[in-house]
Homo-oligomer: A and B are copies of this chain.
Amino acid sequence: MDITRAGTKPSETAPADHFTGTVRVDRLFAAGAPARVTGAYVTFEPGARTNWHTHPLGQTLVITAGAGRVRRWGSPIEEVRPGDVVWFPPGEKHWHGAAPTTAMTHLAVSENLDGKTVDWMEKVSNADYGA
């Protein structure tokens, strides 16, 4: 049994290479083999979003605060609110982020495949974001 106490892990700033706008990552857990799940709270300031990306074993988001947007390649933007749960299957190209004028926090849970949880792609343009 291993307990990580609240406040003992520094918040991180998400890298500008893979995100637009200001995004904070608070890592929660990363289970070692034979388990493979990882989890983090991710907080997007208004207008901020990920790049387009895929996950080798999919990803689940649990919206915990604010108001946000999610979109898979070729489909319309969907608005999400606290308590909504979003599942992206393995390999599905998508992005997620805040609403234009309201921040959003979600829990993000994904499983690593050979140590990798994400494949990053191009920026989400203002048009793709619906700005």
Contact = CB atoms under 8 A, between A and B. Distances in A.
B31 A87 contact: yes
For chain A, what secondary structure do more than half of its interface residues adopt (helix, strand, loop), or is it mixed? strand
A39 interface: yes
Given A31-B60, A111-B111, A94 B1 contact: yes
Interface string A80-114: 11111111111010100000000000010111000
Interface size class of A (residues with CB under 8 A): 35 or more
A62 B90 CA distance: 25
A24 B29 CA distance: 24
Nearest to A1: B72
The 6 closest A-B pairs by CB, nearest first: A6-B83, A1-B72, A4-B85, A2-B87, A29-B60, A35-B57
Interface of A: 1-7, 28-29, 31, 34-37, 39, 57-58, 60, 62, 70, 72, 75, 78, 80-90, 92, 94, 107, 109-111
